[in-house]
Amino acid sequence: MITGDGAKSELPLIRQKVKLLETKVNFKDSVIFNLNKKVINFESMLSTQSDQLQLSKELSDRLQSDLKKQKVKTKLTTGAGILVAAGILLLAK
């Protein structure tokens, strides 16, 4: 009889502990879920940043190439202008 009464008095405490453990598990699951979302977000950010860096490099390379072409055109135009001016001077004499 004493053992049964002790068990009856322990039962509410055990149920309370079980509820507390379930609450802790739910909280931990929530924390894990949020951390997983953060990891996915960071991976997405890294991927986007990598894509942006690649695009920036491609645009920089293209700009360097266009700049070299423009310098050659400028030199040719300047050289042609000097030749035309020299030709006019020779014809004027």
Residue-wise pLDDT tens digits, 36-64 = 999 999 999 999 999 999 999 999 999 99
What's the rounded mean pLDDT across residues 9-16?
90
What's the rounded mean pLDDT across residues 8-25?
94
Residue 86 in domain: no
Which range among 11-15, 66-70, 73-77 shows the weakest confidence by mean pLDDT? 73-77
Report DSSP letters for 72-91, one per residue: HHHHHHHHHHHHHHHHHHHH
> Which residue, chain included where needed, has tokens 């951390």?
35
Residue 75 in domain: no
Residue 81 in domain: no
Residue 72 in domain: no
Q: What is the total count of domains within the chain?
A: 1
Residue 11 in domain: yes
Residue 4 in domain: yes
- 54: containing domain: 1-66
How far, in Å, CA of 52 to CA of 62, rounded? Answer: 15
Cα 2 to Cα 7, 8, 14, 30, 93: the distances in Å are: 9, 10, 18, 42, 135
